[in-house]
Amino acid sequence: MKLTNKSDQIILLTEYLDIIQNLKNYSEHTVLAYKTDINQYFKYINSNNVIEVEKFIQILARNNYSKSTLNRKIASITTFLNWCSSTKEVLIPEITNLVALKTEKKLPNVMTSNYINTLLNNIPISSTKEIRDRAIIELLYSSGLRVSELTNLKLTDVKNNYSIRVLGKGSKTRILPITKQAYKYYNLWLENRAKISTSKSSNYLFLGIQGNKISDREVRRIVKLRLGTFPHSIRHTFATHLLDGGADLRVVQELLGHTDPSTTQIYTHVSKKQLKEKYKRTHPRG
């Protein structure tokens, strides 16, 4: 196979996307981003009849792409090319010198406990759809789930001992506790779930209005509608509130499913920032 051949490009990309979605359990959002990035790279190859990566990234940089976007494209394209080389024996350009660009680390947006509790308590539960939305958001905040982890929950994953079994990145399973509130609205959702359930998606916990497994996009829309923010902000809030309450960083790392401790480290910076803000507000000479 050759990267300069359009039909080979389609075959390679189709197989690669299937692997990262179904074997590596990448979220729908990530798979779509990889597909977009790689197709953009293919367009460059087809226009210039060269398969170099560094020049392609340089062109994007001149077109004012942000460093974070460029870094995502570097990661998605180089990972794909390495897979082509190792699995399909496709000749690829030298990419060892292509490294991520340095970016300023942005602290995640975190809601206060009073604020998120107020928002949660104000979500109505007068309809099946509202009950589902409340159960979804309660679970996200209860256990710090990624969107893909929530959408892939099965009915058998929630246990009556206030725990859930979660399939995370890399198909790694972890057992997480859930709050009494989350369990309460989970049960309320079960009582109403049959109103939109279909046999096709009967194993999945959360369903869309048509009765199919709920999508990542729909969950993001629900969170935006009910809380005015994004699901990852709930995950950030979950982690920060645990640390503020005295939880050990290692415990939070396990709960979030982070393999690298440095990924969890950012939440300590958030806690320190909030500590300084509280100090300034409360100290008489702050």
Q: Which of 35, 72, 73, 235 is catalytic?
A: 235
Cβ-defined contacts of 87-91 (< 8 Å, 24+)? 88/1, 88/12, 90/1, 90/2, 90/3, 90/12, 91/2, 91/3
Give yes or no: 283 in active site.
Answer: no
Give yes or no: 146 in active site.
Answer: yes
Give yes or no: 169 in active site.
Answer: yes
3-state helix, strand and coil shares in percent for the chain, rounded to the nearest 5: 60, 5, 30
Q: Which of 165, 213, 217, 232 is catalytic?
A: 232
Q: Which of 72, 134, 146, 226 is catalytic?
A: 146
CA–CA dist 168, 150 (Å, integer): 10
| For helices 128-143 and 180-193, angle between their N-to-C axes, nearest 10 degrees | 150
Q: Is 103 within 8 Å of 71 (Cβ atoms)?
A: yes
Give yes or no: 154 in active site.
Answer: no
Give yes or no: 269 in active site.
Answer: no
Q: Taking the CB of residue 124, how many other CB atoms lie within 10 A of it?
A: 11
CA distances from 73 to 25, 158, 165, 169 (A): 19, 36, 32, 20
Q: Which of 129, 174, 217, 258 is catalytic?
A: 258
CA–CA dist 55, 252 (Å, integer): 40
CA–CA dist 243, 272 (Å, integer): 10
Query: Dihedrals φ, ψ of 159, to 5°?
Result: -105, 155
Q: Which of 88, 165, 169, 220 is catalytic?
A: 169
Give yes or no: 267 in active site.
Answer: yes
Q: Which residues are catalytic, by number?
A: 146, 169, 232, 235, 258, 267
